Amino acid sequence: MTDTAQQQRLKAGIRKWKDRRNAVILGHNYQVPAIQEISDFTGDSLGLSRRAAETDADVIVFCGVHFMAETAAVLSPDKAVLLPEPEAGCPMADMITAPQLRELKARHPDATVVCYVNSSVEVKAESDLCCTSANAAAIVASVPSDTPVIFVPDKYLGAWAAEQTGRELILWEGYCPTHACITPDDIERARLEHPDALIMVHPECLTQVCRMADVVASTSGMCRTARETDVREIVVGTEKGLIYRMEMENPDKRFYHLSPAALCPNMKLNTLEKVLWSLQEMRHEVTVPPDIAERAETALRAMINSGG
Ligand code: 13P
Ligand code: SF4
């Protein structure tokens, strides 16, 4: 798609201000195409966290949702981390609070707590280990087999990690409203409509959906499989934004969205206008109190140092 004159102006402005601020733009795989195009790096939560930890830029503009910017602020405490749209949150991350996790821990005092990165920094500070969708099973498997594991907040990612590792996990009742829209019926329909296609889904999907798919992977894991497979038709069971990146990287392959309902309104709140404004005004800076950051960092370092 060619840019309108207005989009060209906005992109030129963003480039100018990015240089002026010595900034890097990190964009999640679900961002709208224009944001993916101006991002210095597009990736999943694990890839973006690693980039945030190692960048030598002075400013990180995080085009994603709040917990991602918070994670970057913990991993890069000497940088200014900007979230262009302060209302871009993650409903799943809001499904557990630190007091709720403390209460769960009190009921299972011997358990190791693994939290999904889609959580608040206060919840991370109460956790022993953090994981993303790319390394949830590896992180769970790293806990000694005789130690109980609490997994929060995503019950579906937790169930998937439990199946992969053969471990029984103490799960929290959280879930992603976007991925919960994808149903087993969608998979059955896709098999009929695209019998030769590879069906890939995100592990935030319902357990039955994960079991019926050919591949279960993080967003960047799905992109990697799309590049490497010889199959030419791929059904994508996650937020729609990922398909744009897949089409750009694989112009010879065809991609179909598994469910038209799988849209994340929060991920779509970032726009070129807001990115330009955030660089000009240095808004909205996401900061984390040092005592909380210090406690969350141990769990986050385990996450970025684990494979996936
Ligand atoms: P990924 O880490 O796989 O990109 O997932 C992040 C997310 O929010 C999925 O809904
Ligand atoms: Fe959160 Fe789901 Fe949106 Fe990912 S897709 S940011 S888990 S609401």
Share of the chain above pLDDT 70, in %: 100
Tens of pLDDT, residues 253-299: 999 999 999 999 999 999 999 999 999 999 999 999 999 999 999 99
Please indicate, yes or no, if residue 156 is contained in any of the structural domains.
Answer: no
pLDDT reading at 35 higher than 90:
yes
Tens of pLDDT, residues 112-158: 999 999 999 999 999 999 999 999 999 999 999 999 999 999 999 99
Q: What is the pTM of this model?
A: 0.97
Atom of ligand 1 nearest to the CA of 44: 4
Share of the chain above pLDDT 90, in %: 99
Q: Verify whether ligand 2 is closer than 6 Å to residue 239 (CB atom).
A: yes
Stretch 97-115: mean pLDDT: 98
Whether the CA torsion 51, 17, 269, 226 is positive or negative: it is negative
Q: Which residue has the tokens 């913990």?
A: 74
Structure tokens at 299: 């769990």
3-state secondary structure at position 122: helix
Residues 6+ apart with CB under 8 A from 29: 36, 42, 43, 44, 219, 220, 223, 241, 242, 245
pLDDT reading at 39 higher than 90:
yes
Tens of pLDDT, residues 76-96: 999 999 999 999 999 999 999
Domain shared by 212 and 278, yes or no = no
H or E segment at 201? strand 198-201
How far is CA 233 from its chain centroid?
Answer: 24
Q: Verify whether ligand 1 is closer than 6 Å to residue 133 (CB atom).
A: yes
Q: 194: domain range?
A: 182-257
pLDDT reading at 307 higher than 90:
no
Domain shared by 219 and 284, yes or no = no
Please indicate, yes or no, if residue 85 is contained in any of the structural domains.
Answer: yes
Ligand nearest to the CA of 29: 1
pLDDT reading at 308 higher than 80:
no
Please indicate, yes or no, if residue 137 is contained in any of the structural domains.
Answer: no
Give distance in angstroms: CA of 46 to centre of ligand 1: 9
Among 67, 139, 160, 204, say which to mutate for ligand 1: greatest number of ligand atoms within 8 Å of CB. Answer: 204
pLDDT, residue 74, reads 98
The total of other beta-carbon atoms located within 10 Å of residue 293's CB is 19
**What does the alpha-carbon distance between residue 165 and residue 167 come to, in Å, rounded to a whole number?**
5
Domain shared by 212 and 279, yes or no = no
Neighbour-count burial of 183, counting CB atoms closer than 10 A to its CB (0-12 exposed, 13-18 middle, 19+ buried): middle
Q: Verify whether ligand 2 is closer than 6 Å to residue 183 (CB atom).
A: no
Q: Which residue has the tokens 């920094």?
A: 121
For residue 23, the cross-strand partners are 59
Q: Verify whether ligand 1 is closer than 6 Å to residue 45 (CB atom).
A: yes
Q: In the structure, how many helices (H) and strands (E) does the chain have?
A: 14, 12
Give the domain CATH number at 253: 3.40.50.10800
Domain shared by 13 and 84, yes or no = yes
Q: Which residue has the tokens 């707590």?
A: 113
Domain shared by 212 and 281, yes or no = no
Give distance in angstroms: CA of 178 to centre of ligand 2: 6
The total domain count for the chain is: 2
pLDDT, residue 111, reads 98
Please indicate, yes or no, if residue 234 is contained in any of the structural domains.
Answer: yes
pLDDT, residue 165, reads 98
Tens of pLDDT, residues 168-188: 999 999 999 999 999 999 999
Domain shared by 200 and 233, yes or no = yes
**What does the alpha-carbon distance between residue 13 and residue 136 come to, in Å, rounded to a whole number?**
39
Among 26, 29, 39, 45, say which to mutate for ligand 1: greatest number of ligand atoms within 8 Å of CB. Answer: 45
pLDDT classification of 103: cutoffs 50, 70, 90 = very high
Domain shared by 82 and 12, yes or no = yes
pLDDT, residue 216, reads 98
Give distance in angstroms: CA of 289 to centre of ligand 1: 25
Domain shared by 221 and 281, yes or no = no
Please indicate, yes or no, if residue 18 is contained in any of the structural domains.
Answer: yes
Please indicate, yes or no, if residue 41 is contained in any of the structural domains.
Answer: yes
Please indicate, yes or no, if residue 143 is contained in any of the structural domains.
Answer: no
**What does the alpha-carbon distance between residue 72 and residue 46 come to, in Å, rounded to a whole number?**
11
Ligand nearest to the CA of 223: 1
Exposure letters 148-161 (e unless 16+ CB within 10 A, then b):
ebbbbbbbbbbbbb
The residue out of 212, 231, 257 marking a domain boundary is 257
Domain shared by 195 and 231, yes or no = yes
pLDDT reading at 2 higher than 90:
no
The total of other beta-carbon atoms located within 10 Å of residue 273's CB is 13
Q: What's 269-293 look like in SS3?
A: HCCHHHHHHHHHHCCCECCCCHHHH
Give distance in angstroms: CA of 205 to centre of ligand 2: 11
Of 87, 70, 5, 1, residue with least CA distance to 36: 1
CA-based R_g, the chain, Å: 19
Q: Verify whether ligand 2 is closer than 6 Å to residue 90 (CB atom).
A: yes
Domain shared by 48 and 22, yes or no = yes
pLDDT reading at 64 higher than 90:
yes
pLDDT, residue 230, reads 98
pLDDT classification of 30: cutoffs 50, 70, 90 = very high
Please indicate, yes or no, if residue 159 is contained in any of the structural domains.
Answer: no
pLDDT classification of 195: cutoffs 50, 70, 90 = very high
Q: Verify whether ligand 2 is closer than 6 Å to residue 267 (CB atom).
A: yes
Domain shared by 214 and 251, yes or no = yes
Nearest CA to ligand 1 atom 8: 118
Q: Verify whether ligand 1 is closer than 6 Å to residue 135 (CB atom).
A: no
pLDDT, residue 82, reads 98
Domain shared by 279 and 218, yes or no = no
Mean pLDDT estimate for the chain:
97
